[in-house]
């Protein structure tokens, strides 16, 4: 899905994720973040999650933006349950 399709789904569905924040298009250090960004250094999209203490874990990497947004959406739905 595209970024706009992703945003529309999230705005429509309003998934509750507790303290977790969704961040798009940049890496933001902090606690309880689920996000994605394009790493110009590696030339790939990275989906990441941060822990309570701010440690970053890259969950998935891909060359395709649409694939990154698809998987991020699936992760949000998973965390929602």
Tokens describing residue 32: 């309880």
Model pLDDT, residue 36: 95
**How far, CA to CA in Å, does 15 sit from each of 30, 41, 44, 58?**
20, 32, 27, 22
- Does position 81 have pLDDT exceeding 80, yes or no? no
pLDDT tens-digit profile of 8-65?
999 999 888 888 899 999 998 899 999 999 999 999 999 999 988 888 999 999 999 9
* Domain boundaries defined on the chain: 3-80
Token readout for 74 is: 């699936």
Q: Regarding predicted confidence, which is higher, 80 or 70? A: 70
Residues 6+ apart with CB under 8 A from 52: 31, 32
Residue 74 has pLDDT above 70, yes or no: yes
The residue among 76, 78, 81, 4 whose CA lies nearest residue 35 is 76
């Amino acid at each position: 899905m595209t970024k706009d399709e992703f945003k529309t789904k999230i705005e429509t569905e309003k998934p509750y994720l507790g303290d977790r924040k969704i961040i798009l298009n940049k890496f933001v250090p902090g606690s309880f973040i689920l996000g994605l960004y394009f790493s110009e250094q590696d030339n790939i999209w990275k989906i990441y999650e941060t822990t309570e203490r701010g440690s970053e874990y890259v969950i998935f990497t891909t060359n395709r933006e649409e694939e990154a947004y698809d998987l991020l959406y699936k992760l949000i739905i998973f965390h929602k349950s």
